[in-house]
A and B are shown apart, each in its own frame.
Chain A
């Protein structure tokens, strides 16, 4: 059923259709509309047979999900940004225990400085937590990925994080085709837990493992996550067969077949990138785009295959490793090792800064004209004058003060106190 709906409402509806038995969540922008909506749905009985725990923190939220999942319930939570970091310890625990929890992550920047707007710093900070990370390009895909996420999580007994850009998707009203309960029920069978707390068949879950077996446990964890690379395409294919549309999978190549220059990106920015690709194709440039839907596990073979004929790859990512460089870019380099291509790391859209068609076009023009240094880390739309001024100041002053404050003051922003 197609309807014009807010992304959060669409996701809440999708989650409802997946019949979670325990939801534990703590409010944080921009995840709030999802969990508010789920609370309504539990209270109205639309989501029946579900216990909704309004916990005291995100740490408590994921912990309650760990308990719920350990006790054989389908468990769900949602968070953003700082909330995900507050869950950090529990994230590793949930994956280490192999508990099939599903989480929506409404992607948001991480402070300081505190910032509620979208980027991927939160996902990327927790990329090695052992969770599968799926990135939605649109609200339609966010809906579809949730249905697939429960299937995947429960078939492999691993936790899955569905990442959708905060505000950009969560608060956007778009037309979404919401599946019916019958469709979802047919696609997603009731949970059969791999292990659970059962008085009739007691086990000890969460043992302490020493040097003699820890490596093996971690190896098996890796093998299991890598199995998702086989499982996800199967699930996506089944999904297409059942729901009549393509969603999910590992990667989404867009006009890459003969592309010499390919832009790699995750999430909602892909739509903009595809627009730019279309324009440049019309102008005769051989460009394409590669969307990464599954970032963890990393689909190295699929990425390599998609980039096999390219000579330049531009990785546009909404997060970076401070002091090191691109994160997705590094993974792309790994996947394309030995291929004759040049890779460019471009950090874009941090803390909610729009990634516009114009900016992307400028970027690609620079790449095509070989004006961009492939060995450097690039920041799209960086205010070079501002940072230069700030760097200059800190070279001369003993106590330059916080950069952010100084820069805001220089920009004349209200919050800086410039009007005092």
Chain B
């Protein structure tokens, strides 16, 4: 799908760069001249997937727009760790207003730029999953429906991490959070809740919708670049593991994102005008257990009183994604 074919090289498109590649074949992140839109000194936790995802996305967007970019940020970890007075980690024009209004603010920015005749300056709105799928959802849907010229990016770490790891509409079943603990017979977060904003975005039939993870840099960058070729509302949902909220080793951030995709629990795809146009197939399929085990939020599934029944239900969810999106490797369908 979004991968370039780079022949002959031992690592293909999997690594960030490789000295053997022509500079223009390297990922944006491999270049010394990358924007570092989110620069050093920010106060994100060690191993933060969101900090990584935000730099990936915005650096790619900066490249795609030749630096003519403005960002709007909803309240959340990303906003808090990047802009505590007197220090800002941003290196592009950036505006934070509120938790629930990011998409509307971004729409307003886009309208202003258009009214001012600055058609070359593009707008990225960004929020965590809380600011996207829950409190910001009304504004997001409005922005989609009006087809405002905004790329909205959700950095999905599956919960309200900034407030101390509570459940959001993006928290998966069986995950233990501060308000969905696995107490008594409770499985952690219950099954049968939550929503897929990428699919909802598709239902708006906006020009472009894509999902991505911090584990597949080139795929992510290609999607940002592609998103920037469209005018109108675009949505990118990036899976960003949270070492703190998930109870995972800080070194495992990318590995977990990879396992989420390779297990099928997080489908990576892109859609145009409401139709899925491409999927990122599984390369080395793993059972969901491989993904779940390194995370303390799922520890109750594997402890002294293991819950293979719940693991099986999570596997069912992955299998459904695999069937629904056709995620198996070519030839394995």
- B69-103 at interface with A (beta carbon < 8 Å): 69-70, 72-73, 79-80, 83-86, 88, 90-98, 100-101
- A193-251 at interface with B (beta carbon < 8 Å): 196-199, 202-210, 212-213
Tell me, yes or no, whether A325 is within 8 Å of chain B by CB: no
Expressed in whole angstroms, the minimum distance between the Cβ of A58 and any Cβ of chain B is: 10
Please give, as numbers and ranges, the residues of chain A lying within 8 Å of B145 by CB-CB distance: 56
- A16-75 at interface with B (beta carbon < 8 Å): 21-22, 24, 49-51, 53-57, 59-61, 63-73, 75
Known A22-B112, A50-B115, A90-B98: A202·B93 in contact at CB below 8 Å? yes
Contacting pair B108 A207 (CB below 8 A) = no
Please give, as numbers and ranges, the residues of chain A lying within 8 Å of B85 by CB-CB distance: 207-210, 212-213
Q: Which of B68, B105, B146 contacts A66, CB < 8 Å?
A: B105
Please give, as numbers and ranges, the residues of chain A lying within 8 Å of B201 by CB-CB distance: none
Contacting pair B68 A204 (CB below 8 A) = no
Contacting pair A204 B90 (CB below 8 A) = yes
The 3 A-B residue pairs with the shortest CB-CB distance, nearest first, are: A67-B108, A56-B142, A206-B96
Q: Find the B residue at minimum CB distance from A203.
A: B93
Q: CB-CB contacts of B316-330 with A at 8 A, as 1s and 0s?
A: 000000000000000
Q: Which of A72, A93, A206 contacts B83, CB < 8 Å?
A: A206
Mostly, the A contact residues are mixed
Please give, as numbers and ranges, the residues of chain A lying within 8 Å of B109 by CB-CB distance: 67-68, 70-71, 197
Please give, as numbers and ranges, the residues of chain B lying within 8 Å of A72 by CB-CB distance: 112, 116
Contacting pair B111 A208 (CB below 8 A) = no
Known: A56-B138, A207-B85. 13 other contacts (CB 8 A): A50-B115, A63-B105, A63-B139, A67-B106, A67-B109, A71-B95, A71-B112, A93-B98, A197-B70, A199-B69, A202-B91, A205-B94, A213-B85
Q: Find the B residue at minimum CB distance from A55.
A: B142
Tell me, yes or no, whether A355 is within 8 Å of chain B by CB: no
Tell me, yes or no, whether B251 is within 8 Å of chain A by CB: no
Tell me, yes or no, whether B121 is within 8 Å of chain A by CB: yes
Mostly, the B contact residues are mixed
Contacting pair A198 B104 (CB below 8 A) = no
By size class, the interface of chain B is 35 or more
Expressed in whole angstroms, the minimum distance between the Cβ of B264 and any Cβ of chain A is: 34
Contacting pair A199 B112 (CB below 8 A) = no
CA distance A61 to B143 in the complex (A): 11
Measuring CB to CB, which residues of chain B are less than 8 angstroms from any residue of chain A? Answer: 67-70, 72-73, 79-80, 83-86, 88, 90-98, 100-101, 104-116, 121, 138-139, 141-142, 145-146, 148
CA distance A381 to B73 in the complex (A): 51
By size class, the interface of chain A is 35 or more
Contacting pair A21 B112 (CB below 8 A) = yes
CA distance A179 to B204 in the complex (A): 43
Please give, as numbers and ranges, the residues of chain B lying within 8 Å of A22 by CB-CB distance: 108, 111-112, 115
Q: Find the B residue at minimum CB distance from A92.
A: B98
Measuring CB to CB, which residues of chain A are less than 8 angstroms from any residue of chain B? Answer: 21-22, 24, 49-51, 53-57, 59-61, 63-73, 75, 89-90, 93, 97, 196-199, 202-210, 212-213
Contacting pair A51 B96 (CB below 8 A) = no
Expressed in whole angstroms, the minimum distance between the Cβ of B142 and any Cβ of chain A is: 3
CA distance A51 to B149 in the complex (A): 12
Contacting pair B104 A55 (CB below 8 A) = yes
Please give, as numbers and ranges, the residues of chain A lying within 8 Å of B79 by CB-CB distance: 206, 208
Contacting pair A66 B101 (CB below 8 A) = yes
Please give, as numbers and ranges, the residues of chain A lying within 8 Å of B114 by CB-CB distance: 51
Contacting pair B142 A60 (CB below 8 A) = yes
Considering residues B79, B80, B100, B142, which has the most beta carbons from chain A within 10 angstroms of its beta carbon? B142
Contacting pair B93 A199 (CB below 8 A) = yes
CA distance A212 to B79 in the complex (A): 19
Expressed in whole angstroms, the minimum distance between the Cβ of A136 and any Cβ of chain B is: 26
